[in-house]
Amino acid sequence: MSFLKELLQALRERCAPVRDELIDRLYTKLDDWREPLRPPFNTPKEVTPALPTLAALVVDTCREIVTLAEYMKADLNTAVIGSMGEEDLKAFVVQQAKAKERQLVLELWASNDRATGRPLRELWRSWIAADPNLSNSTSVVVAADKKWILRLMRQVSTNLQLSCPLPISPQAGEAAGLPNSNTDPNELPPQFLFVTPRLVYVQNFLQAITIAASLRSLTRLPVFAPSSSENLDGHPPGYDLVPRIWSLLKSEIDEEYNGPSDGYMSTKLINLSDEVIRARRLVSSTGNIDADEEQRLRNAVERTLRPQDPVFLLLHRRLVDAITQHLLRELEGDRQAVNAQRIPEAMKTGRVVVDNRPVKRTRLGVPDLTGPLQTRQHLDLSLPVISVKGFEDPTLVEAIRAVVRELLACITWVEMVWGDLV
C-alpha cells in the first residue's frame, strides 16, 4: 500500500496539472480503504456484502496507474511536438507514418516471419523477375537497385488499372468463391500498398495527356507558347483547344481519384468531339465546316481515343519513355547530391553555429528522416522542362511536370520506407 502511495506521489510530481484530479482520487481511495470485517460464520452468502479486498484494491489501482501512464505519455508527446520546429515536426510525422505503414504491411503479408520480412522480399524479387526484358526498355544505364523503376513504369503505362490486393487465405478465398491463383496481370507487390491510389491517379493522368495530344494532332494547330505577360486574347483562334480539353479530362481524373475506376478515361466522347470541331471551325478560312467533314472529325476522335489506335500507342509510348529516362536521371543525380552532402565541411558534430560561435545542439531524439524529402522538394521546384515530340503545348508540358512530381514522390516514399526489403 505504501509503495503505491509513493508511486502516485512520484507521478504527481511529473504529470501535467490536468492529471492531478485523477491522482488525488486514487490516493484518497488508498487512504479510505479499511480491512472489511468478516461476517459471522453462519451468515448466508446471499446477504454477505461484496466488500473490496486488499488484493482487488491493489489490482484496480495498478490498472488505473497504467492508464494514467498512457495519458502522461500522450501529454509528453503533445508537449514535445508543440516545442518542435517545422523541420523536426516533419521528421517526427514521417517517422510515425513509416513505422505505422511497415507494421501494418508486415502484419498482413509476413505474419509468420515478421522480424526479417522475408515474404515481402521474395514477392518483390518475383515481381521484378516477371519481366526479364527490363534492361532493354531504355537507353539509360540503370543500376541494379533501380531496375524496379522500369518495372513500375512498364505497369503504369498499361491501360489495365494498377492494384495491390490484400492477401487472402486459401480458406477465405474458397469461401468467397475467389480463384486460388493470381489472375491480375497488373498487380503490385505489398510495398506499394499505400501509394497505389496515387499511382492509379498517375495512370489516368498519363492517359489524359495522351488523349489531349492525340486530339490536338487532329486539328494540325502549330505550337504557341505565350509569355507570362500575354494571354490568349487577340491571338489566332483555336489555341485554347488543349486548355479546354485538359480542363475536361483533369476534372474527370480528379473525380475518379477517390472513387472506382475502370482504368480508362470515361469523359463523354461528344464533349471532346465538340471541342475539336470548334477548333477546326475557328482555324478554317470560312469559319465553318460542312457536315461531311464534321462527321469525319467525330469518327477520327472516336478512333484516336481507342487504346489500340496506332497514334494513341505511339504518343503514349513516347511519353512514358521520356518520363522514365527523366526519372532515372533525376534519381541518379539525387543520389550523387546526397552522397556529397555526407562530407562535413567542419568537425562540429552535435553543435550548431550561433553568432559565429559553435554551441551545443538541442537533442530531441528524433531521427533525421527529412534528408531525402528535402532533396526531393528541391528537385520538384527545379524540374527542367521535359521536351517530348507531340506534347509541346504549354498545358501539356506543365501536366508532364505534375506527373513527374507524383512519380518522384511515390518512388522516394517506397525507397525510404522499404529500402531494406527491396
What DSSP state is assigned to residue 189?
P
- pLDDT score for 237: 57
Report d(CA 304, CA 309) in Å as an integer. 6
The answer to whether 386 and 326 have CB atoms below 8 angstroms apart is yes
Do residues 149 and 328 touch, judged by C-beta distance below 8 A? yes
Residue recorded with cell 503479408: 109
30 CB burial (10 A radius; 0-12, 13-18, 19+): middle
Q: Say how many CA atoms lie within 13 Å of 374 toward its Cβ.
A: 12
Show the cell assigned to 146. Answer: 533501380
Which residue shows C-alpha cell 519513355? 321
Among 150, 184, 83, residue whose Cα is nearest residue 407: 150
What pLDDT is stored for residue 298 in this prediction?
A: 87
CB 193 within 8 A of CB 162: no
Residue 341, pLDDT score: 45
Model-level pTM? 0.68
**Per-residue pLDDT reduced to its tens digit, 208-227:** 999 999 888 887 666 555 54
First CA to last CA distance, the chain:
54
**Whole-number pLDDT of residue 226:** 54
Tens-level pLDDT at each residue, the chain (422 residues): 677 888 888 888 888 888 888 888 888 887 777 665 555 555 555 544 555 577 787 888 888 888 888 888 888 878 877 777 778 778 888 888 899 999 899 888 876 666 667 888 888 999 988 877 766 556 666 777 888 999 999 999 998 889 998 887 544 444 444 444 455 678 999 999 999 999 999 999 999 999 999 888 887 666 555 544 444 454 555 668 888 888 888 888 887 765 554 444 445 667 888 888 888 887 776 667 788 888 888 888 888 888 888 889 999 999 999 999 999 888 876 555 444 444 444 444 444 444 445 444 433 333 343 444 443 444 444 567 788 888 988 899 999 999 999 999 999 999 999 888 77
Which residue type is seen at 44?
P
pLDDT at 244: 87
Q: What is the reported pLDDT for 316?
A: 92
Question: Which among 104, 101, 98, 106 is positioned nearest to 370, based on CA atoms?
Answer: 98
Q: In this predicted structure, what is the pLDDT of residue 238? A: 60
Question: Reduced to 3 states, what is the DSSP secondary structure of residue 211?
Answer: helix
pLDDT score for 10: 84
- CB-based burial of residue 209 (10 Å sphere; 0-12 exposed, 13-18 middle, 19+ buried)? buried
Backbone φ and ψ for 240, nearest 5 degrees, come out as -90, 15
How high is the mean pLDDT of the chain?
Answer: 74
DSSP string for residues in 219-239: HTPPP----TT--STTSPTTT
Residues 6 or more apart from 138 whose CB is under 8 A from it? 150, 321, 324, 325, 328
Question: pLDDT tens across 153-195, in order?
Answer: 999 999 888 999 888 754 444 444 444 445 567 899 999 999 9
Using DSSP's 3-state secondary structure scheme, residue 422 falls into coil
- pLDDT, one tens digit per residue, over 58-86 is 888 888 888 888 888 888 878 877 777 77
Distance between CA atoms of 21 and 79, rounded to whole angstroms? 20
- The dihedrals phi and psi of 163, each to the nearest 5 degrees, come to -150, 155
Residue owning grid cell 486460388: 180
Q: Running DSSP on this structure, what letter comes out for residue 15?
A: S
CA 258-309-261 angle, to 5 degrees, is 10
Q: Grid coordinates in use for 30?
A: 488508498
User: What is d(CA 144, CA 422) in angstroms, rounded to the nearest whole number?
Assistant: 11
